[in-house]
Structure 1
Amino acid sequence: MQRLINSLLHFFSKAQLSFNNLLRISVFIVMVWIGGLKVFPYEADGIVPFVANSPVMSFFYNKQAPEYQDYKNPEGRTSKVNSQWHKENGTYTFSNALGMVIISIGIVTLLGIWFPKTGFAGGLLTVGMSIVTLSFLITTPEVYVPNLGGDYPTPDYGFPYLSGAGRLVLKDVIMLAAGLVISSDAASRILAKENRRSL
């Protein structure tokens, strides 16, 4: 049993670079998939509460929060009136641009497998994007379960009861850590290459 444990320890210690590259590929997949979905109206509609309530991003929209609450399109269903409101708000234009930014971050991160300096930038961009996303836990009311009433049992609502949107946002803690690991690994590779040149 001890030999098996030792073998596993040696395998994992030698596979660190491979796992760091797998992390880069994982971030790439998430970024390209989510970024690509931003061109579809349902995804663009879904990010409106986050953007509209963010002091950093709300200026991208033409309408102010909480007006969007009257024009929500539930996933899988659309309304002509709601979709027109989103066009006037700039919802789709912003979402398309955001999608391109997210896809670009994914590509830059993936390139870190071959180009450490590029990968270092990709890791930092992933960290930055994650910080902005996690700020939604403070600025967006929809990330917590609303109080819809009820008398038995006492309803659980507000902080710390995360809604579906809140649980989605919280997962960016993992993306934040991934970005830091990717940046750290890229920095080590850059410094190791410079040290070899100076010898």
Structure 2
Amino acid sequence: MTIKTNQFHLQIAEKNVGSLSHLALLRWALVVIFLWFGGMKFTTYEANAIAPFITYSPIMSWLHTLFGIQGASYVIGVLELSTAAALILGAFKPIFSALGAAMSAATYLLTLTFFFSTPGVAEVTAGGFPAIGAMPGQFLLKDLVLLAASLSLLLASIQTSRSSAR
């Protein structure tokens, strides 16, 4: 199933040319993560746990100013649950395959910026960066793999006219 735009063909990632059914594993793993983490954002526990990341982020700190700690967590939760919904719909509709993967990739690109803004990422007692502490450094490092999964889905969902002409 494909949708043609001016220069792109949007496809359900798993139904792209070749044997890409393994991408379904990535899609559904990301769905579980976004449903779980998104749902957790509606708890006080999670709002307080992510507060330091948001507070020190030059990209996201405005959320606390505008919505407060719990409100910012609600906003992020809605975005994460929306990403899960787009990924789910993306198993059936090409536009949502690309949208969900792009939303997921944007999430992990953003969280990886916390490496540079959150105090305590570098482990000073081990000589500083590139040595990273268990919290928050190693916790954030997993987002590199999640970004790769998101980009794999995105690239399989969007094919340029040149590649589809082959």
- Provide TM-score, normalisation by structure 2: 0.78
Q: Is the 8 A contact 1:133 1:169 kept in 2?
A: yes
1:45 paired with 2:23, answer no
| Counterpart residue number, 1:25 | 28
The one-letter code sitting in structure 2 at the alignment partner of 1:165 is: P
Between structures 1 and 2, the one with greater strand share: 2
- Provide TM-score, normalisation by structure 1: 0.66
Q: Is the 8 A contact 2:64 2:71 kept in 1?
A: no
Q: Is the 8 A contact 1:127 1:179 kept in 2?
A: yes
Instruction: Could you tell me which runs of 5 or more consecutive residues in structure 2 were left unpaired when the two chains were aligned.
Output: 1-17
Aligned-pair Cα RMSD in Å: 2.4
| Counterpart residue number, 1:96 | 74
For residues 167 and 137 of structure 1, what CA distance do their matches in structure 2 show? 10
For residues 122 and 38 of structure 2, what CA distance do their matches in structure 1 show? 24
For residues 21 and 89 of structure 2, what CA distance do their matches in structure 1 show? 14
Structure 1 residue 157: deviation in Å? Answer: 5.0
The one-letter code sitting in structure 1 at the alignment partner of 2:64 is: Y
Percent identity of equivalent pairs: 30
For residues 142 and 31 of structure 1, what CA distance do their matches in structure 2 show? 25
| Counterpart residue number, 1:9 | none
| Counterpart residue number, 1:60 | 63
Structure 1 residue 122: deviation in Å? Answer: 0.9
| Counterpart residue number, 2:131 | 161
For residues 157 and 36 of structure 1, what CA distance do their matches in structure 2 show? 37
Structure 1 residue 23: deviation in Å? Answer: 1.0
| Counterpart residue number, 1:125 | 103
Instruction: Could you tell me which runs of 5 or more consecutive residues in structure 1 were left unpaired when the two chains were aligned.
Output: 1-14, 64-88, 148-154
For residues 127 and 19 of structure 2, what CA distance do their matches in structure 1 show? 42
CA deviation map 1:20-39 (0-9, x unaligned): 11211110001110111111
How many residues align? The count is 146
In terms of Rg, which structure is larger?
A: 1
Structure 1 residue 139: deviation in Å? Answer: 0.7
Higher relative contact order structure (alpha carbons within 8 Å, sequence separation ≥ 6):
2
| Counterpart residue number, 1:140 | 118
